[in-house]
Amino acid sequence: GAVVSQHPSRVICKSGTSVKIECRSLDFQATTMFWYRQFPKQSLMLMATSNEGSKATYEQGVEKDKFLINHASLTLSTLTVTSAHPEDSSFYICSAYGGQGAQPQHFGDGTRLSIL
Amino acid sequence: QKEVEQDPGPLSVPEGAIVSLNCTYSNSAFQYFMWYRQYSRKGPELLMYTYSSGNKEDGRFTAQVDKSSKYISLFIRDSQPSDSATYLCAMSPYNNNDMRFGAGTRLTVKP
């Protein structure tokens, strides 16, 4: 149980392109979804927290207009990197949490984004 | 001082060894303690999940929490090459929602 699917797993695109990453909880309802960024050999850096039906809460230093998050349903959240530039190249990982009393966050397999 | 401290390693052990991974923390509000395993280019996979102090065992894995010392450990018995990965500790306060991660320890188990 507690499967989180993240798609696509790999994206290579030109600078200036907008990229959408999807995160789905397949077998549970996710009241909260999280988006992380991970640089090589470093730990996870929380970018934003999103609750279904409400605006995402962004961590300090994360540009909300750059990283658009939509959590339209209890099983789907999307992260759109708008007008991506090479410095946005990174490993993006989502996680989902089922709410009070549920198991801890379960993670997707990540999306490796490379901006040329 | 970081909220969660974890030695990034790398740690290299021979197959069959007992591995000890540790984290310390500073926030006494943490109640939930997790260990995740992350293979290269994959998302973290939940290994162990404990609430408050005590031990928890699952197969070859044992998690220990000592809240008085603000210290948690993960032991891996009879380590296998397939255990080679980065191990992340994570912890959160009351609602199991706001998690803080350690830096991750990179483990290599050599055949």
What HEC string does chain B produce? CCCEEECCCCEEEECCCCEEEEEEECCCCCCEEEEEEECCCCCCEEEEEEECCEEEEECCEEEEEECCCCEEEEEECCCCHHHCEEEEEEEECCCCCCCEECCCEEEEEEC
- Spatial separation of the C-alpha atoms in residues B109 and B95, rounded to whole Å: 35
Label residue B5 by pLDDT band (50, 70, 90). very high
* A91 inside 8 A of chain B by CB: yes
Reference B60, options B104, B101, B20, B8; nearest CA is B20
Show residues of chain B in contact with A91, CB under 8 Å.
Answer: 41
Q: pLDDT tens-digit profile of A54-102?
A: 889 999 999 999 999 998 888 999 999 999 999 999 999 999 988 666 6
Higher pLDDT, A28 or B79: B79
Closest residue to B102, CB basis, from A43, A93, A106: A43
Show residues of chain A in contact with B39, CB under 8 Å.
Answer: none
Q: What is the mean pLDDT of residues B17-30?
A: 95
Show residues of chain A in contact with B102, CB under 8 Å.
Answer: 43
Higher pLDDT, B63 or A100: B63
Answer yes or no: are the C-beta atoms of B89 and B35 closer than 8 Å.
yes
Structure confidence at residue A48 (pLDDT): 94
Higher pLDDT, B108 or A44: B108
Answer yes or no: are the C-beta atoms of B4 and B99 closer than 8 Å.
no
Average pLDDT in chain A: 91
Q: What is the DSSP letter of A3?
A: -
Show residues of chain A in contact with B32, CB under 8 Å.
Answer: 104
- Whether A41 shows a pLDDT value over 90: the answer reads no
Q: What is the mean pLDDT of residues B70-80?
A: 97
- Spatial separation of the C-alpha atoms in residues B65 and A110, rounded to whole Å: 29
Structure confidence at residue B9 (pLDDT): 86
Which chain A residue has its CA at the smallest distance from B44's CA?
A107
* B49 inside 8 A of chain A by CB: yes
To the nearest whole Å, the CA of A15 is away from the closest chain B CA by: 23
